[in-house]
Structure 1
Amino acid sequence: MKSERVLLLPGWQNSGPDHWQSRWERLHGDERVEQHDWDWPRRGDWMARLDEVLLQDDAPAVLVAHSLGCQLVASWAEHSKHTARVKGALLVAPPDTEHEAMPPQLHNWRPIRRPRLPFPSITVISSDDPYGAAERTLQMAQDWGSQVVMAGPRGHLNAESGLGDWSEGRQLLEELARR
């Protein structure tokens, strides 16, 4: 996977030091796409930032999104002229931003973008994710044309899920990069 850039796309409020994305950044040198505002995420701003980072290097990228980062990938792919720079996307625990209990900071992420992604993707779904019912998340993944991996009851697939370095996720990423 040395020829591709691995771009980490954290969700709302970023990924803390014990999150698997932060661990991958330290262990593998993956690049986190830093957003201007992690607390009040604006969809258009996040999309523009992803374009900006992708254009900094000619190497193809593999996107590794968690939570709201998955909604970023779907929204960005629908509008960007630079999707050919992406070799694939690993989408982990996409939240249901249309759910009535979502905090007001996430309301501008409605409606959820559902067009088929123009690159291969794998969506990892937990059966007991508090931010998205498995049925709704499965429908998003199907709309995006993603291969689906059911992870069982593992919460939001974050630091609280006890994933550590999440070797299973890294194997999925390597599978995706080989396509």
Structure 2
Amino acid sequence: MPAPTPPFHVLSLPGWGGSGPAHWQSRWEALHSDQRIEQADWHQPLRGDWMMRLEESLLALPPGGPPVLLVAHSLGCHLVSAWAGHSRHSARVAGAFLVAPPDLDRDPLPPQLHSWRPVQRLRLPFPSLLVASSDDHVYCALPQAQALAADWGAELLEAGALGHINADSGLGDWPQGRAWLDAWAARLLAGA
């Protein structure tokens, strides 16, 4: 049985298209009881709709429960940033673990993603750790991931050559990623 993440309520935020059963997010949800934020439409993602769903899900959590960690992949990372820039409830989030955010400033951008421009680049109001691959050439080259981390005030963890850090990367349960999350969460608890 995997070691539990320190006492946090983990909200899982998949990206465009959702995370299928072979994706590490889906596997973490099964292994660790992370709670997925379901979106009404995974294939036509409207930024405002996704932000509203995150807000509703966060506010539905019982008050006085464990602190909340957002675990986002791909477009889910931009959801965290966009939501945090508008919500009056960002103080309910203890931190965000952001994995493989795509470069939404690239052209041509798929038409389904145009509602996500302009990219929200304000510093996040809670601690964050951005995990980036060195060879995510299709979605986000490392220099763009580094720039997003700097804009969002996120600590950057370069994960090596893992592609888009998704099911196609063949990570299975991605134990290394969960170990990074657990160590970072423990630092948050310790106030580091």
Give the number of aligned pairs: 179
Deviation of 1:48 (Å):
0.6
Mapped pair 1:112 → 2:116? no
Amino acid paired to 1:71: H
**C-alpha displacement of 1:128:** 1.3
Structure 1 residue ranges (4+ consecutive) displaced by more than 3 angstroms after TM superposition: none
Residue equivalent to 1:148:
156
Summarize deviations over 1:43-86 as a string: whole Å, max 9, x none: 01100100100011123210000000000000001100111110
- Range 10-19 or range 54-63, more displaced: 54-63
Which residue in the other structure is 1:21 paired with? 25
Kindly indicate whether residue 10 of structure 2 is the aligned counterpart of residue 6 of structure 1: yes
- Aligned letter for 1:127? S
For 1:145 and 1:113, locate their aligned partners in 2 and report how far apart those are by CA, in whole Å: 12
Deviation at 1:101, TM superposition (A): 2.8
Q: Which residue of 2 aligns with 1:101?
A: 108
Larger Rg: 2
Alignment of 1:162-177 (within 5 A): 162-177=170-185
SS at match of 1:102: coil
Matches of 1:174 and 1:102, distance apart in 2: 34
Gaps of 5+ in 2: none
Cα deviation, 1:144-175, whole Å, max 9, x if unaligned, reads 11110111121100011011111111122212
Unmatched segments (≥5 aa) in structure 1: none
Match of 2:55 in 1: 51
TM-score normalized with structure 1 length: 0.96
The alignment's C-alpha RMSD in Å is: 1.0
Residue 128 of structure 2 is aligned to residue 124 of structure 1 = no
For residues 126-151 of structure 1, give each alpha carbon's deviation from its aligned partner in whole angstroms, at most 9, with x where no partner exists. 11111011111110011111110111
Residues 60-71 of structure 1 correspond to what in structure 2 (within 5 A)?
60-71=67-78
Contact 2:68/2:93 (CA < 8 Å) preserved in 1? Answer: yes
**Structure 1 residue 2 displacement after superposition:** 5.7
One-letter identity of the residue aligned with 1:133: A
